[in-house]
């Protein structure tokens, strides 16, 4: 068709490229959207000759023009052409985004899409669509949103649009003036629960489908769009996606994490791992402080844009709590190191054994040319109980205990060990204690078994290793003799939370018991050790010692300092920290580039799940969930190796069949301008363009009478509709 971009390149011999004028203007106003202006607008023929002659652009070859077009598509941009040259002709091709382009604003802000659309509209084949959302992310006018394709008890009826700019008086009340900050990813009725519940909003349905087709490297690529560490998360993820999985309302949830773990095995092999291609080469120096999951995630996404990233870590090893807080029988160090090696290939530099604030300062790093900072030092400090005897020999926090073991320090726990706490870290502490000499390990926690914050799977693993879990007991005092712990007294906990769900334990002081202990390991929470990092800065802390920062942009009181992970949220899961790391990278990119806003044109990543109560789930076959072989606790407690197996390929194929395919993209055909950006992202051939209109461009000199004719026609239509409404009302 005459609207294919290649036609115009093949018909011309002279080409030039210049900065995008729209983005240049936005930059000057401090309203940039993060899409930068350089080398974005291509001129053809006589226009190229003019731009070259006047110095407004530089000459390029046809091949270079194609490369610019390709790079624009890879970065989610669309191609726009002036249509005032007559049918089948144009003098320029702009590579635009919906968040800065003034022409596209006619559709995004003024909702007058007829003025800027092509003759095409996108159409989604719901049978092929997997609701991955890749097309939604690049749609410049928010015409695409994620919805559902499962049958609903009460049909979801789309409200029919009847008022348009060509038949209605189109004043400010009809506009979307906040179109640069209110983009919606999901229709009001929701989309797939797995993508919604994942803190990083990974395209679960998409990578499950790719795995079902044996396209493992593409699945790995899709995961890494949101999570650089799938092999790590495949072993320690809390599986929020599985808890929300619609299949669980039929029989059992899809084993999403096991599928991801199988896919991520590709990342551990040199010949199959996925190293992303650099998107840009910006070159600004950025410092990341802390080599945990959030800091590493931020470094990964900054490196993709070609920033010169240096990660400073005060320990001698990388990984933060992934390495020092999680035992290797759950997450082997080889797995962490394999995924960190990919960051090295992307150009990230690591400096270990350097504590920022002690060995060097933020001020010093600024003097070395670092333009922005991401603080992600984690919650590496164990909390104490505040009870008598806590300073006795043999009492240590669980965090310190795990760090010593993971650093390879000699740790030998002889005799009886008591672990205080009921979370996942407490489970790790207890299971590790059995591996370093403890003859008996007892866990005590305030919560009942049902209230324990630890994942059920991890509790079961602890029980299988002969660890005793004692629920509804709180520590009263630690008993000591000659300065060394000999036991601990507990009091009965009647309730942990008040009626509002606030932590407010109530005890029966009369019901107590004393438990013998040679070692007490306290695992009741974690805090931040800021050291001197924030000295002479404007960064403030909250009462709980987390950092004060904007919840969306992550910017602190120092404009060039951003923070994420546990220092912002308090202790959470690795996947939460990873998600914030990506947001930190987005903010830093916008901060260091001139004239860019931290919020305009930025995806707020807001997702909502479909209503399961309104689904028709009868008739689905009950297909058994695939399971990995159980590891005998008697065997696992004897080693620090991770003995948990991975799915076989046959199991992956069977398990991926169980996915119900809840989500799908939905197109607003009026809002769609037919740019085709969506089609460049779909891996499933699920979205295509079809010709809906047959308009032709008009040479500029012939445009005036046509405009006048259409103004008169529009006025007539609006008047007729008003009269019709008036008579309808009267009748």
Give the model's confidence band at 21: pLDDT under 50 very low, under 70 low, under 90 confident, else very high.
very high
Q: Are residues 558 and 451 in the same domain?
A: no
Q: How far apart are CA 412 and CA 582, in angstroms?
A: 40
Please give the average per-residue pLDDT across 365-369, as a whole number: 98
pLDDT of amino acid 1 = 40
Between the CA of residue 142 and those of 104, 161, 185, 586, 686, what are the distances in Å?
A: 11, 16, 8, 20, 18
**Considering its fold, how many domains does the chain have in total?**
4
Q: Are residues 387 and 376 in the same domain?
A: no
Q: Are residues 358 and 484 in the same domain?
A: no
518 found inside a domain: yes
Please give the average per-residue pLDDT across 397-421, as a whole number: 95
pLDDT of amino acid 88 = 85
Assigned token pair, 255: 């084993």
User: Of 82, 97, 112, which residue is a domain's last?
Assistant: 97
φ/ψ of 522, rounded to 5, equals: -95, 120
78 found inside a domain: yes
Q: Are residues 303 and 208 in the same domain?
A: no
Give the model's confidence band at 158: pLDDT under 50 very low, under 70 low, under 90 confident, else very high.
confident
166 found inside a domain: no
Q: How far apart are CA 355 and CA 322, in angstroms?
A: 19
Q: How would DSSP label each residue in 365-422? A: HHHTTEEEEEE-----EEPP---TTTTSBTEEEHHHHHHHHHTT------EEEEEE--
Q: Are residues 357 and 396 in the same domain?
A: no
pLDDT of amino acid 272 = 85
User: Is residue 171 classed as helix, strand or coil in its secondary structure?
Assistant: coil
Please give the average per-residue pLDDT across 464-478, as a whole number: 97
Reply yes or no on whether the pLDDT at 3 is more than 70.
no
Assigned token pair, 298: 């931020």
Q: Are residues 386 and 374 in the same domain?
A: no
Q: Are residues 501 and 585 in the same domain?
A: no
| Nearest-10 Cα torsion for 94, 100, 102, 108 | 110
Task: Round the average pLDDT of the chain to a whole number and report it.
Answer: 95
Reply yes or no on whether the pLDDT at 191 is more than 90.
yes
Q: Are residues 522 and 422 in the same domain?
A: yes
Q: Are residues 363 and 247 in the same domain?
A: no
| Tokens 């933020």 sit on residue | 362
Q: What is the pLDDT of residues 418-440, one digit of tens each?
A: 999 999 999 999 999 999 999 99
pLDDT of amino acid 160 = 84
From edge to edge, which strands make up the β-sheet containing 503-516?
473-481, 484-497, 503-516
Reply yes or no on whether the pLDDT at 354 is more than 90.
yes
Residue 485: partners with Cβ closer than 8 Å, 6 or more residues away: 389, 392, 393, 394, 395, 478, 479, 517, 518, 519, 520
Q: Are residues 496 and 414 in the same domain?
A: yes
Reply yes or no on whether the pLDDT at 2 is more than 70.
no
User: Is residue 484 classed as helix, strand or coil in its secondary structure?
Assistant: strand
Radius of gyration of the chain (CA): 30
Assigned token pair, 638: 């004897």
Q: Are residues 391 and 518 in the same domain?
A: yes
Residue 455: partners with Cβ closer than 8 Å, 6 or more residues away: 238, 239, 424
603 found inside a domain: no
User: Is residue 193 classed as helix, strand or coil in its secondary structure?
Assistant: helix
Q: What is the pLDDT of residues 443-455, one digit of tens each?
A: 999 999 999 999 9
Q: What is the pLDDT of residues 237-272, one digit of tens each?
A: 999 999 999 999 999 999 999 999 999 998 898 888
Strands (E), 214-299: 285-289
End-to-end CA distance of the chain, in Å?
50
Q: Are residues 389 and 490 in the same domain?
A: yes
Give the model's confidence band at 730: pLDDT under 50 very low, under 70 low, under 90 confident, else very high.
low
Q: How far apart are CA 243 and CA 544, in angstroms?
A: 30
Q: What is the pLDDT of residues 371-391, one digit of tens each?
A: 999 999 999 999 999 999 999
User: Of 73, 97, 121, which residue is a domain's last?
Assistant: 97
Yes or no: say if 610 and 190 are a contact pair by the CB < 8 Å rule. Answer: yes
70 found inside a domain: yes
User: 268 is in which domain, residue-wise?
Assistant: 192-274+609-629+652-661
User: Of 503, 527, 551, which residue is a domain's last?
Assistant: 527
Task: Supply the CATH number for residue 202's domain.
Answer: 1.10.1060.10
φ/ψ of 110, rounded to 5, equals: -90, -10
pLDDT of amino acid 125 = 96
Q: What is the pLDDT of residues 676-688, one digit of tens each?
A: 999 999 999 999 9
């Amino acid at each position: 068709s005459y609207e294919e971009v290649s036609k115009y390149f093949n018909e011309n011999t002279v080409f030039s490229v210049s900065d995008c004028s729209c983005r240049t203007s936005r930059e000057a106003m401090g309203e940039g959207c993060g899409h930068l202006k350089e080398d974005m607008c291509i001129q053809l023929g006589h226009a190229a000759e003019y731009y070259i002659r006047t110095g407004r652009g530089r000459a390029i070859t046809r091949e270079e023009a194609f490369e610019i077009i390709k790079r624009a598509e890879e970065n989610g941009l669309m191609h726009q052409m002036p249509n005032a040259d007559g049918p089948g002709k144009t003098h320029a091709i702009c590579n635009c985004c919906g968040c800065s382009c003034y022409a596209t604003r006619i559709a995004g802000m003024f909702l007058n899409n007829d003025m800027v659309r092509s003759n095409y509209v996108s159409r989604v084949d719901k049978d092929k669509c997997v609701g991955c959302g890749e097309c939604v992310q690049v749609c410049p006018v928010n015409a695409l949103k994620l919805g559902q394709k499962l049958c609903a008890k009460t049909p979801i009826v789309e409200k029919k649009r009847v008022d348009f700019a060509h038949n209605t008086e189109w004043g400010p009340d009809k506009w979307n003036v906040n179109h640069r900050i209110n983009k919606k990813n999901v229709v009001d009725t929701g989309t797939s629960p797995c993508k919604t519940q994942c803190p990083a909003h990974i395209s679960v349905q998409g990578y499950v489908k790719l795995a079902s087709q044996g396209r493992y490297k593409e699945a790995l690529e899709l995961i890494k769009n949101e999570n650089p560490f799938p092999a790590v998360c495949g072993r320690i993820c809390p599986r929020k996606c599985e808890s929300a999985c619609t299949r669980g309302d039929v029989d059992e949830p899809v084993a999403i994490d096991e599928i991801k773990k199988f896919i991520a095995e590709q990342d551990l092999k040199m010949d199959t791992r996925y190293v992303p291609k650099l998107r840009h080469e910006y070159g600004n120096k950025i410092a990341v402080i802390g080599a945990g999951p959030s800091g590493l995630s931020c470094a990964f996404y900054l490196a993709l844009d070609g920033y010169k990233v240096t990660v400073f870590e005060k320990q001698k090893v990388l990984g933060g709590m992934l390495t020092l807080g999680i035992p290797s029988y759950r997450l082997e160090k080889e797995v962490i190191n394999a995924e960190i090696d990919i960051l090295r290939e992307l150009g990230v530099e690591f400096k270990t054994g350097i504590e920022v604030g002690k060995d060097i300062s933020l001020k010093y790093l600024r003097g070395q040319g670092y333009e922005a900072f991401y603080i992600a030092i984690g919650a590496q400090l164990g909390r104490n109980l505040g009870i008598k005897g806590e300073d006795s020999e043999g009492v240590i926090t669980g965090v310190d205990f795990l760090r010593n073991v993971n650093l390879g320090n000699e740790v030998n726990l002889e005799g009886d060990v008591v672990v205080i706490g009921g979370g996942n870290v407490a489970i790790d502490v207890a299971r590790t204690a059995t591996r370093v000499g403890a003859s008996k390990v007892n866990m005590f926690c305030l919560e009942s078994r049902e209230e324990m914050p630890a994942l059920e799977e991890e509790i079961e693993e602890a029980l299988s290793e002969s660890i005793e879990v004692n629920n509804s007991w709180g520590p009263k005092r630690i008993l000591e003799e000659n300065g060394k712990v000999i036991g601990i007294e507990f009091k009965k906990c009647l309730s942990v939370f008040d009626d509002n769900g606030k932590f407010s334990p109530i005890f029966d002081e009369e019901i107590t018991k004393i438990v013998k202990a040679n070692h007490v390991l306290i695992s009741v929470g974690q805090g931040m050790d800021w050291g001197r990092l924030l000295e002479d800065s404007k960064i403030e802390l909250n009462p709980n010692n987390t950092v004060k920062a904007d919840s969306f942009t992550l910017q602190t009181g120092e404009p060039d300092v951003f923070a994420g992970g546990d220092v912002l949220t308090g202790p959470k899961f690795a996947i939460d920290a990873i998600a914030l790391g990506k947001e930190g990278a987005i903010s830093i990119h916008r901060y260091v580039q001139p004239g860019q806003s931290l919020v305009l044109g930025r995806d707020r990543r807001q997702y909502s799940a479909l209503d399961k109560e309104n689904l028709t789930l009868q008739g689905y076959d009950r297909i058994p969930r695939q399971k990995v072989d159980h590891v005998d606790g008697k065997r696992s407690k004897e080693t620090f190796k991770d003995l948990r197996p991975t799915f076989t390929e046959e199991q992956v194929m069977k398990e991926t069949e169980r996915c119900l395919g809840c989500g799908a993209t939905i197109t607003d055909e009026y809002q769609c301008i037919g740019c085709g950006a969506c089609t460049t992202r779909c891996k499933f051939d699920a979205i295509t363009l079809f010709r809906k209109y047959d308009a032709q461009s008009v040479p500029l000199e012939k445009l005036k009478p046509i405009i006048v004719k259409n103004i008169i026609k529009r006025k007539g239509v609006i008047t007729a509709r008003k009269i019709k409404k008036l008579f309808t009302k009267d009748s």
